[in-house]
Amino acid sequence: MGIDYMTGQGFEPAHKPGPLGRFHLRELINCGGMSEIWLATDAEQKHYALRLLRSKSRFDLTTRRRFHRGCEVLSRIHNHEFVIGYFEHGKIEGSLYLLMEYVEGANLKQLLANWDPVLQEWVGNILIDMSIALEHVHDSGFMHLDFKPENVLVSRNGSVRLVDFDLAQPRSEKPRKMARNPGTPAYMAPEQLMRQPLDHRADLFSFGAAAYEVLTGTKPFPGDTPDEVLQRQLDRHGFVPPRDHNPDIPPGLEKVILKCLEREPDKRYAIASLLVHDLQNILYLE
């Protein structure tokens, strides 16, 4: 089984199995609106995950810039056990590509949909490793800005890899307004949804939303539109504390999640390292 990087349903691949430059495309791992990811081998039969920008996006300058930025960011931060491995990026037979580590497993969204035994066995470790990955991104001078279950890969032995840095931005010393506002509303912080200045603490909100969903099977602020999600975040109408969904959640862990989900950035963790520290004290498992 390959990696489910994104849902990618309803898209026809732009490439077919067979030779592509010095690689051989073996199996389509996933296909989305922007790119497709293949299990590929080289002349030495080494396995890779090869991400290719879909051909219809070649003249979409915004998409190309995001793809290239994601490659550049990953090339600078990949040397970490909980971030997907990077080998190279460039252009091959007219297509922009990113060559990455191949990991057998699935993303958290898929694991949640099936309540996979891997998730049941390793959930504590997964939460800690997710926070450490985010800490590394921030310490490396970036904000992920698209932190969600789909972008967290989990191998069969519970090993985590954070992926997809296309929306990442340099971390600034003080909150700043972004020119654009892409992302996934269900995991975006209120300041993101309101297009207000933001900093790395927006990622900590996203972590809280993802952790809430991992532990309860539901999103903390469901909504069909960004406005609905934002309204639930602001007025907290109908908000259900995690332990009301799942009484097995330790009270200390619930407190951590609620701190991440605070409306005001100043009430969240100041830095990811403090989040990691609290999670390790509450959940550390060998």
Tokens 């009484």, located at residue? 247
Q: What angle do CA 192, 276, 284 make, to 5 degrees?
A: 135
Identity of residue 56: K
List 4, 116, 139, 146, catalytic entry: 146
Query: Distance between the two ends of the chain, CA-based, in angstroms?
Result: 27
Tell me 89's DSSP state. E
Token representation of residue 68: 């290239």
Residue 81 main-chain phi, psi, to 5 deg: -65, -20
What residue type is 265 in one-letter code?
Answer: P
Nearest to 222 by CA among 232, 212, 207, 208: 232
Dihedral pair phi/psi, residue 125, rounded to 5°: -65, -40
Residue 238, by phi and psi: left (phi above 0), alpha (psi -120 to 50) or beta? left
In the residue annotation, 146 being an active-site residue is answered as yes
> How many CB atoms are closer than 10 A to CB 165?
29
257 vs 268: CA distance, rounded Å: 10
Q: How far apart are CA 177 and CA 18, in angstroms?
A: 44
Are the beta carbons of 160 and 118 closer than 8 angstroms? no
CA distance 175 to 125: 31
The answer to whether the beta carbons of residues 100 and 89 sit under 8 Å apart is no
Catalytic residues: 146
